[in-house]
């Protein structure tokens, strides 16, 4: 695992490679442009898939990482398709939080038809609590990540109400370029007639942008209150 000289500002927890790009790729680009330190940890390899392999998926992930310009990325190597909320999995993820010490965690939304996504969401919640424990054999110093936001990478055809939508209008092209790196998942063996899977992903971002009066957006949910310090900056166009 790569070490870190400085803590991360934002850490995305993704069930599989490509979930971070689909859910928050535009947000990550915007964070990088603001000089924030951003990283991604995947819980599983995402394999096997019909047109992928561990080697192909790793190469695709490396390409997407380069497109996004991430500061750090790691895969925990937990079992794909049979991800379970075990104490060992919780310990592994809590150790990542102690290593990276993020100010903000972005986690998968908790409702989905894919069991790995549901388990991943609960693992983040529990690992956040474990990360602050003392008198433990986990590596690193105790740390409690101050905030979690939940992003949408959802297989169900549902539209939960977000706490807010982040404007990614100036980052949509980079987001889509990073997703297109995963050719084994979205291009190889799939029809390229409209609408393709990539069209669907872009159109969802267009819908969320429409919902806030911009071109493209990414939605987030929060279980805790979101702080606001200025009506002018948050709501008023001056």
Residue in the structure block whose two tokens are 């990550």: 28
Helix, strand, or coil here: 42?
A: strand
Give the domains, in start order, of the chain with CATH numbers. Answer: 10-234 (3.40.50.10320)
Going residue by residue through the chain (238 aa), what tens digit of pLDDT does each one get?
A: 556 779 999 999 999 999 999 999 999 999 999 999 999 999 999 999 999 999 999 999 999 999 999 999 999 999 999 999 999 999 999 999 999 999 999 999 999 999 999 999 999 999 999 999 999 999 999 999 999 999 999 999 998 999 999 999 999 999 999 999 999 999 999 998 999 999 999 999 999 999 999 999 999 999 999 888 888 777 776 4
- Nearest CA to 218 out of 14, 21, 9, 8 is that of 21
Q: What ranges make up the beta strands (E) of 31-186?
A: 38-44, 72-78, 104-108, 147-151, 164-167
């Amino acid at each position: 695992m790569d070490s870190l000289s400085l803590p991360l500002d934002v850490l995305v927890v993704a069930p599989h490679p490509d979930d971070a790009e689909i859910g928050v790729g535009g947000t990550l680009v915007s964070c990088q442009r603001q000089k924030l330190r951003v990283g991604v940890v995947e819980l599983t390899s995402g394999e096997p898939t019909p047109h992928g392999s561990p080697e192909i998926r790793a190469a695709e992930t490396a390409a997407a990482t380069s497109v996004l310009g991430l500061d750090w990325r790691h895969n925990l190597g937990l079992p794909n398709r049979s991800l379970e909320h075990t104490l060992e999995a919780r310990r592994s993820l809590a150790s990542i939080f102690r290593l990276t010490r993020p100010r903000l965690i972005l986690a998968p939304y908790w409702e989905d038809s894919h069991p790995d996504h549901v388990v991943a969401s609960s693992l983040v919640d529990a690992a956040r609590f474990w990360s602050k424990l003392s008198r433990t054999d986990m590596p690193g110093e105790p740390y409690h990540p101050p905030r979690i936001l939940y992003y949408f990478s959802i297989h169900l055809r549902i539209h939960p109400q977000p706490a807010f939508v982040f404007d990614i209008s100036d980052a949509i092209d980079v987001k889509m370029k990073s997703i297109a790196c995963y050719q084994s998942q979205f291009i190889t063996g799939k029809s390229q007639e409209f609408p393709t899977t990539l069209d669907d992903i872009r159109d969802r971002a267009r819908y969320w942008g429409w919902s806030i009066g911009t071109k493209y957006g990414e939605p987030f949910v929060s279980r805790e209150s979101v702080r606001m310090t200025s009506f002018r900056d948050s709501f008023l166009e001056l």
